[in-house]
Amino acid sequence: MRLGKPTHLGGGLFLLVLVTLGLILPTYWVYLLSTVAITAIIARSIGLVTHQAGIITLCQMSFAALGGWAVSYLAIAWPTAPFPLLVLIGGTVTAPVGLLIGIATTRVRGVELAVVTVGFATALDLVLRQGSFPGVGEGTPVIPSAPFDDPRWFFALAWALLIVLQIGIRALSRSVHGLGWTAVRVSERAAAALGVRVGGTKTSAFALGALFAGIAGGLLAGQYGLLTTAVFTPLTSMVHLVTAVLCGASVFGGAVLAGVFVVFIPELLRRIGLPLDAANALLALGAFDVLRRGGGGLVEKLNDQLQERAFRNTRVTCQLLPVSDERLQVGAMQPDGAALQGETVKHQTLQAACLHVDNLTVAFGDHRVLEAVNLTVEHEEVHALIGPNGAGKSTLVDAVTGFLPSYEGRVSLDGKPIERFGPRERARLGIRRTFQHVHAIDAITVENYLKLAAGAAGSERIPAVREFLDLPDGGVPIRLMDVGSRRILEIAGALASKPEILLLDEPAAGLGEAESRALAERVRQIPAVFGCAVLLIEHDMGFVRVASTRVTILDDGRLLTSGAVSEVLDDPRVIAAYLGQETAS
Amino acid sequence: MLDGIISGLVSGSTYAILAVCVVVLYRLVGVLNFGQAALGALGAYVCYALVGAEVSLALAVFCGLAVASVTAGFSGWVLARWLGEPSAIARSVGTVVLLILLLTAGFRLFGDSPRAMPSLVPEASFDLGGVRVSLSTVIALLVTIAIAGVLSLLLRYTQLGIRLEAMSERPLTVQLLGVNSRQLAVGVWAATGLLSTLAMLLIAPTRNPTFESMSFLVVPALVAGLLGAFSNVWIAVASGLAIGAVEGAGARIEGLADYRGAIPFAIIIVALIWLRRREVWDAAR
Amino acid sequence: MTSGLRVEGLTVKRGDLTICRDVDLTVPKGEITVLLGANGAGKTTLLDGIAGVLPAAAGSISIGARRIDAIPVHRRASLGLSYVEQGRSVFSRLTVVQNLAVVDRSQHTRDKAFELFPRLADKRNVRAGLLSGGEQQMLIIARALATRPTMLLIDELSLGLAPRAVRMLMDTLVKLAESGMGILLVEQFAEVALRVGTTAYVMERGQIVHTDACSTILQDHTSRISPYYLGVASRQQPEP
């Protein structure tokens, strides 16, 4: 049984155990187990926000407080309403608060965002302390409508909600939008380059996390009857965070374990006569140990190990075989000729160059990184951009893909200027890039990465790309792949999105001699097979000679020369001026 | 109103000093310390516990400062030893762990009831243009400015400062050049523990806080640090003072007074929307 | 054999993975010793092990008669071992002078650095992040020399530099070796290094598979090196 991905058998067994426990245990234990489910919902919400989307949240209990407040209020204002409905309303009114915080902090990231959440938690805590929860002053507790006033029915409700929410979040996590959460956690830059809406993705994680926590808070209102602010302090949010970190709450088993720890450790301490607040310290120390070891919480790690075992005998690398001469023929390599042929033809009727960079100047402070650079990449060509490190090649790629705050000059795609677009829009227009540092998201599978990268283009082209680059099985988790294969996977993802132009930043770094050669041959075929132009940055001249048709040399931010590969690389003046005489033999 | 602002400056000084600690630690060691105020709270509580046990004030203050520095230094050593490699996020969660542990320890040692804390500064005040200004406000402000000033000079002009700056960028390279960077990091931690205690001793007499509420004074400090993007000491100082002043002013406004603790959050949201109106990408390529 | 660096049976792990196994290597004073190997052969890991960035899982490291394998990183540096990491490890926010001052603030250190690299003198108050690639490598070498090493370990000096800059830096290394320093030079692109070195070690999958005089290897391998005639080729995954 895999804890994070319950099989049918495992899931059935789990349900059976739950129902049995709910029926046979004494009421007190049933009550505790309900609290476990509620806490697990909160832990899962932290799993979503912190583990999946990479935002440290220190305010999940504040969201729970809002849900609890809403349910307490509604229970008085609308006594006849069914309790589950109240809980759902509680969650629904909390979600917009998460949404608002998310929108306000679209451009804040990392630890700074954690500060915002702790600010919210303290602010709400103070506001709540000024007036108590509805019903507390008058002493009218929330009594869940029948049959949920019976602890066993309440137990059923709490666990049912947890399971339904888990199923929902699991499905969402595999959608293009949900995969975006993981992408944003790894690198916002890389996510935007994949066409992911960074702000929207973070905001949705916040909003969904708030929804979950709000529902949990509503359940707590029914569980406790009368709520106190002590349940929802910033400190309790922190304790829930460290527990989620300890257990690995991005998977179902981890969330449940977090619930078990939060409920039963104090229970245990009480029985052996130790102070209850030692539980917080224990959970915190446990979390520290998990952080120290790295690689995720207890259940996440278990899950990963099972996954590793499952793929022990599967190929987890891209095996690029050298292309034999016959296969170099375009027709033979064309994976699904008919579908792609149309796109190729379309380009041939266009007049304008695929990518045109006109008089591009970029300065960081007084330092001019690029000076009046002109570059034209035609449709259907692989154009190499070479030059020593620091010549401005990557800066040029950043400018074209929209990652620079400002530049002088013009960049146009198919003759249309793209200055007003940001990186995400440019990616959607068909300018795709890979990075010098591999950003392939190690927490997801090859299949899901391709799905995420393809985005709006759908999965139509994925089989062709997989065959073209010899990718491993779609179920293989990316973290099992080596750096070189991840690099190739990034190229595959970019191709799957049906780009107009692909900018490859040192694709051969980290590849062995033979693989590098084979990749060069594949890159050469990209225009013919996928109908997309390529701008290639590469230091390995062997690679450049095989892959590209034209080459531009940048030196110290200026264009040195440009022309056909053989002419430029064999030009004695170029060799003398740039390549260096002694090594040119 | 003006009275409120002036009286808020004592809290503001505390926020400012804590913010300086947070910024310095984040910039030099790469750790955003959620436990910064709790370290100061520990020092302050030790001090007042000793005063309660009729130890002389000077000795009590010394012991408070010492306990806080040693605890902070030890925390820094533990974090550097075991969380040196992982991401800034992991280290920050590590300081959440530190905060929880300190709160647990504080609760065990000192209970959770507020206690009266005598002022270290004689009660005195004077009139300045029709506004009452207490001596403690003046001293708090002077201490704050002095701390920030000395730290900036130290970082800028001494070899220690250059080494710390270098360490913030490349801790390993500094070690390869023969500098014991873990020792430097522990030193920075210890210094922030000491300064946090000072900050707490300034604010304690005006609030008589519990250990927990004192520990959560880190929130306005974090907000102040954030406004300076956790890199600019002087913006952090100004922001800390401003938050205190706004809170003080808020205390004098009917209907807002009870909610003035929520002011940092309001400030942070407004400021962030303004500061981040343009898209900036993380640096890594 | 009491002078120079001596590595015997050294095994180095990264996490649970054994990267270097049972490496024997000697770096005599007054010579440039070259360590060659393909990308991923374990060259950087070996240097990390010698400098103490990674612990030695087995084996011994000594400088002269002194065992150093149990000594922490910063103290190995003070025993005369200086390690220039891969990539441009300048402190980019500090000026040239400040970069040197991290090690030593004395006028003497500054003078020596500027005497060796006059170009740095002109840029003494420029922030290191704004220097060109070649100037950054000069600064790194000058900074390493400020620790007054007897033994210099250099990882991929040529990485991403134009050939002219590489040649200039190589000439400097030759001068340093002539003055009595021992240098261990790691290069992926062999030719440049082999031209200045005395002895070369070739690494494959974490082990030393071949040792010979540089001149001999140079003759044997010229044909194989030729595809990389550009000499600036970088196939290493850059460190973040």
Confirm or reject contact between B170 and chain C (CB < 8 A).
yes
Task: Determine the residue of chain B that is closest to C52 in CA distance.
Answer: B176
pLDDT range class, residue C40, cuts 50, 70, 90: low
Contact B212 A235 (CB under 8 A): yes
- Residue A391 near residue A421 (C-beta atoms within 8 A): no
Is it the case that residue B100 has pLDDT exceeding 80? yes
End-to-end Cα, chain C, rounded Å: 39
A217 found inside a domain: yes
Neighboring chains of C (3 or more beta-carbon pairs < 8 A): A, B
Task: Enumerate the residues of chain C whose CB falls inside 8 A of the CB of residue B283.
Answer: none
Contact B86 A423 (CB under 8 A): no
In Å, the largest CA–CA distance within chain C is: 48
Is it the case that residue B92 has pLDDT exceeding 90? no
> pLDDT for A532-574, tens place per residue?
999 999 877 788 889 999 999 887 788 888 889 888 888 776 6
Q: What is the pLDDT of residue A38?
A: 97
CA C123 to chain centre: 24
Q: What is the pLDDT of residue A366?
A: 67
pLDDT-wise least confident of A116-125, A292-301, A319-328, B76-85: A319-328
Task: Enumerate the residues of chain A whose CB falls inside 8 A of the CB of residue B230.
Answer: 111-112
Rounded to whole angstroms, how far apart are CA atoms A458 and B29? Answer: 45
Q: How far is B163 from chain C (nearest CA, A)?
A: 5
CA dihedral A335, A337, A342, A345 (to 10 degrees): 100
Task: Determine the residue of chain C that is closest to A581 in CA distance.
Answer: C163
Rounded to whole angstroms, how far apart are CA atoms A157 and A327? Answer: 61
Task: Determine the residue of chain B that is closest to A122 in CA distance.
Answer: B262
Q: How far is A184 from chain B (nearest CA, A)?
A: 11
A444 found inside a domain: yes
Q: What is the pLDDT of residue B261?
A: 78
Contact C94 B159 (CB under 8 A): no
A455 found inside a domain: yes
Q: What is the pLDDT of residue C41?
A: 77
Q: What is the pLDDT of residue A210?
A: 97
Contact A541 C233 (CB under 8 A): yes
Taking residue B160's Cβ as centre, other Cβ atoms within 10 Å add up to 12
Residue A483: φ, ψ to 5°: -60, -45
Identify the CA nearest to C149 among candidates C114, C118, C103: C103
Task: Determine the residue of chain C that is closest to B162 in CA distance.
Answer: C102
Q: How far is C211 from chain A (nearest CA, A)?
A: 23
> pLDDT for A17-62, tens place per residue?
999 998 999 999 999 999 999 999 999 999 999 999 988 999 999 9
Contact B226 A112 (CB under 8 A): yes
A473-495 mean pLDDT: 88
- Residue A448 near residue A441 (C-beta atoms within 8 A): no
3-state SS, one letter per residue, for C78-95:
HCCEEEECCCCCCCCCCE
Contact A242 B88 (CB under 8 A): no
Assigned architecture for domain B2-284: Orthogonal Bundle (1.10)
In a 3-state reduction of DSSP, which class is residue C59? Answer: strand
Burial B49-78 (b: 16+ CB within 10 A, else e): bbbeeeeeeeebbebbbbbbbebbbebbbb
Q: What is the pLDDT of residue A332?
A: 42
Last residue of a domain, one of A233, A251, A283: A233
A62-68 mean pLDDT: 96
- The tally of domains found in chain A comes to 2
- Residue C185 near residue C43 (C-beta atoms within 8 A): no
> Which among A56, A107, A292 has CB closest to B279?
A107
Rounded to whole angstroms, how far apart are CA atoms B2 and B245? Answer: 9
Task: Enumerate the residues of chain A whose CB falls inside 8 A of the CB of residue B269.
Answer: 101, 104-105, 116
> pLDDT for B180-197, tens place per residue?
888 999 999 999 999 999
Q: A-C interface: how many C-beta pairs under 8 angstroms?
A: 78
For chain B, positions 173-192, list CB contacts with chain A under 8 A.
Answer: none
Contact C160 A512 (CB under 8 A): no
Q: What is the pLDDT of residue B282?
A: 60
For chain B, positions 173-192, list CB contacts with chain C under 8 A.
Answer: 173-181
- Residue C152 near residue C84 (C-beta atoms within 8 A): yes
Rounded to whole angstroms, how far apart are CA atoms A533 and A524? Answer: 10
Total residue length of chain A: 585
Rounded to whole angstroms, how far apart are CA atoms B213 and A126? Answer: 11
Q: How far is C143 from chain A (nearest CA, A)?
A: 21
- Mean pLDDT taken over chain A: 86
Q: What is the pLDDT of residue B209?
A: 84
For chain B, positions 144-163, list CB contacts with chain C under 8 A.
Answer: 159, 162-163
Contact B181 C74 (CB under 8 A): yes
Q: How far is A207 from chain B (nearest CA, A)?
A: 17
Task: Enumerate the residues of chain B whose CB falls inside 8 A of the CB of residue C81.
Answer: none
**Percentage of the residues of chain A whose pLDDT score is greater than 70:** 90
Task: Enumerate the residues of chain A whose CB falls inside 8 A of the CB of residue C204.
Answer: none
Identify the CA nearest to C139 among candidates C153, C149, C127, C151: C127
The answer to whether the peptide bond before residue A6 is cis (omega within 30 degrees of 0) is no
Last residue of a domain, one of A191, A211, A233: A233
Task: Enumerate the residues of chain C whose CB falls inside 8 A of the CB of residue A540.
Answer: 228, 233, 235
pLDDT range class, residue B174, cuts 50, 70, 90: very high
Residue A574 or C51, more confident: C51
Is it the case that residue C236 has pLDDT exceeding 70? no
Last residue of a domain, one of A233, A265, A294: A233
> pLDDT for A259-309, tens place per residue?
999 999 999 999 999 888 899 999 999 999 999 888 788 999 998 888 888
- Residue A63 near residue A220 (C-beta atoms within 8 A): no
pLDDT range class, residue A522, cuts 50, 70, 90: very high
* ipTM field: 0.93
Contact C93 B175 (CB under 8 A): no
A190 found inside a domain: yes
Q: B-C interface: how many C-beta pairs under 8 angstroms?
A: 63
Contact B173 C73 (CB under 8 A): no
Angle among Cα B224, A119, B215 to the nearest 5 degrees reads 80
Contact C235 A580 (CB under 8 A): no
Contact B176 C240 (CB under 8 A): no
B123-148 mean pLDDT: 86
Domain with A546 in it: 378-405+421-584
A250 found inside a domain: no
In a 3-state reduction of DSSP, which class is residue A417? Answer: strand
Domain segments of chain B: what residues? 2-284
> Which among B159, B162, B284 has CB closest to C240?
B284
Q: Which are the contacts of B167, defined by CB distance < 8 A and separation ≥ 6?
A: B28, B29, B174, B179, B181, B184, B185
Residue C220 or C233, more confident: C220
Residue A323 or A487, more confident: A487
Task: Enumerate the residues of chain C whose CB falls inside 8 A of the CB of residue A580.
Answer: 162-164, 167, 230-231
Q: What is the pLDDT of residue A4?
A: 44
Contact B175 C240 (CB under 8 A): no
Q: What is the pLDDT of residue B281?
A: 67
Q: What is the pLDDT of residue C160?
A: 63
Q: What is the pLDDT of residue C239?
A: 34
pLDDT range class, residue C168, cuts 50, 70, 90: confident
Q: How far is B8 from chain C (nearest CA, A)?
A: 37
pLDDT-wise least confident of B175-189, B204-218, B264-278, C66-80: B264-278
Contact A104 B223 (CB under 8 A): no
> pLDDT for A101-159, tens place per residue?
888 877 787 788 899 999 999 999 988 988 889 988 888 899 998 899 999 999 999 99
Q: What is the pLDDT of residue B279?
A: 64
Is it the case that residue B69 has pLDDT exceeding 90? yes
Is it the case that residue B278 has pLDDT exceeding 80? no
Task: Enumerate the residues of chain C whose CB falls inside 8 A of the CB of residue A367.
Answer: 130
Q: Which CATH number covers residue A479?
A: 3.40.50.300
Contact B108 A505 (CB under 8 A): no
**Percentage of the residues of chain C whose pLDDT score is greater than 70:** 86
Q: How far is C73 from chain B (nearest CA, A)?
A: 6
B153-173 mean pLDDT: 89
Is it the case that residue C228 has pLDDT exceeding 60? no
Residue B123 or B167, more confident: B167
B10-15 mean pLDDT: 93
A349 found inside a domain: no
> Which among C133, C191, C236 has CB closest to A583?
C191
A127 found inside a domain: yes
Rounded to whole angstroms, how far apart are CA atoms B152 and B164? Answer: 12
Contact A122 B261 (CB under 8 A): yes
Is it the case that residue A232 has pLDDT exceeding 80? yes
pLDDT range class, residue B143, cuts 50, 70, 90: very high
